[in-house]
Amino acid sequence: MITRMLQKEGLPLDLAYMVPVESNFNVRARSKKSAVGLWQFIASTGRIYGLKINRWIDERRDPVLATKAAITYLKHLYGIFGDWELAMAAYNSGEGRVKRAINRAKKKGRKHNFWSLRLPRETMGYVPSIMAMAVIFKNPKRYGFGHVRPLSPMDETKASLTVAFSLEEVAKRSKMSFSALRDKNPALFLGVPPMTQTSYSFYVPQNNRQELMASLKQNPNPSKKWGHSYNALLGSSNRVTRVLEKFGAPIYFRVKTGDNLWDLARKHKTSIRRLARWNRLNSKSVLRVNRRLKIYVPTWRVFREVARNSSYSSTRLIALRIRVPKGGALSVIAEKYRTSVRKLMRWNKLSNPHAIRAGQRLVVGYRKASNSNLPREASVIRVPRNTTLSHLAIRYKTSARKLMTWNGLTNSRQLRTGMRLYVKAPEKIKRKQQKRIVAKKNSRRLIKVRHKIIRVRNGDTLWGIARIYRTTVKVLVALNELKSESHLRLNQKLIVPYPS
């Protein structure tokens, strides 16, 4: 398939050997830098070249669409450099890096082909690896791969249906297993149609497609109920529960001997809280044998409503970070912040509990953003607890940079609980535009500095505060007449310089 598409576009056929180097022909391959698919596209590059990437579908995993995008990208790179070796190098490390390497070589009077450029070690090994793959694939017997049989060509037969048809129903109508259909369509990684669209396409073998078309002729209407296994894909928030009650399909079953709420919730892919709510149970309720219970299973309308309203998604969390003190150990930090060493290692991606150093920033917990009760139409608000500029920017449909400009902030960490904050452009901006001061070699001009008072928060250090307000520890010690650099207490008032 890849060779045929390259030949059709008039590109060198040896470019097909980039795929075994990139992903070893694994459509589900994922790198440490979150590059995905046969051609290892990162999300931003994939979107530029027309691939859909969202919470429902990832077309980087689609072999045909990813190959089309890769061909377009390689054409673009060849148009810039005019050399396939440089185009392959730019595919690996980025066109900007290769351009800078060429410019450096030209300034030094060197040749600017691939072999004479100074590029990252990975890239310098990438192009020779492709060439080596081409040699091995063309002479498999010589290199000990004569026993390996090539796979049969991919069946590119596709069908298209509305999103009301679940993949499980498509598999049943096509008389094939659900797992086989999912393997054919890795782009639908959730096993659910993309609910942001009205219809979707999928790969299905030719024989099974005929079965599907015959089934649709007999009964063109989709099933009203989806399998309760789809419950696991939905969130556990109260709003999603209400959507399930409104648009889901009710299913009834009987309690058997030995059943309990935990086992029933696990069996039907739901939560104990939902099971108790839908059947009006509480902690004192007794499950009697043969009692009829009810659950709701999702339909396509449930997923459509969840996709339409982003407020159904899970609550935003803010990471609480500290700096590791001298001699600090994970066990001591875990005890202080009421967590466990295992959680600290998972949050900070540590492989060894002793692999921390003094001054390192460490996530010690997560907290919910508390900006849900803020008025949407206000132009000035009081900053609530546990929120950030980025969360406020999302809520008021602006950017963090604009919020900083309107409020005279030079750093996002200057946001304090209770401070008045403009969330819309003020009518009259009292602050005058700063004039650029052109410094002469032999003349020095003093920059006017004003001061403001802040309060010390948990985990603050003089070094951290000095870094935020672009000053030094010595200046802060002198301004506040501190006896020691480490003598800070919680909620202490500090005077900090603030350039005007």
Give alpha helix (H) positions in 309-450: 330-336, 341-347, 389-395, 400-406
Give alpha helix (H) positions in 158-204: 167-174, 178-184
Structure tokens at 215: 């089934």
CB-CB contact of 176 with 152 (8 Å): no
The Cα-based distances of 224 to 141, 199, 248, 467 in angstroms read 55, 17, 9, 59
Give the burial string for 19-54 (b: 16+ CB within 10 Å, else e).
Answer: bbbbbeeebebeeeeebbbbbbbeeebbbebebbbe
Q: How far apart are CA 253 and CA 290, in angstroms?
A: 9
Structure tokens at 71: 């061909």
Q: How far apart are CA 103 and CA 118, in angstroms?
A: 11
Can you give the three-state secondary structure of 47-90, one letter per residue?
Answer: HHCCCCECCCCEHHHCHHHHHHHHHHHHHHHHHHHCCHHHHHHH
Q: Is 422 helix (H, G, I), strand (E, B) or coil?
A: strand
Active-site option among 9, 22, 85, 481: 22
**Ramachandran region of residue 420, left (φ > 0), alpha (ψ -120 to 50) or beta?**
beta
Asked about 305 being catalytic, the answer comes back as: no
Phi, psi for 416 (deg, rounded to 5): -125, 150
Q: How far apart are CA 320 and CA 316, in angstroms?
A: 13
Strand intervals (E) in 243-335: 249-254, 292-297, 317-323
User: Cα Rg for the chain, rounded, in angstroms?
Assistant: 30
Upper half-sphere CA count for residue 317 (Cβ side, 13 Å): 10
The residue count of the chain comes to 500
Upper half-sphere CA count for residue 434 (Cβ side, 13 Å): 10
Strand partners, 158: 203
Q: How far apart are CA 1 and CA 4, in angstroms?
A: 5
Catalytic positions, please? 22
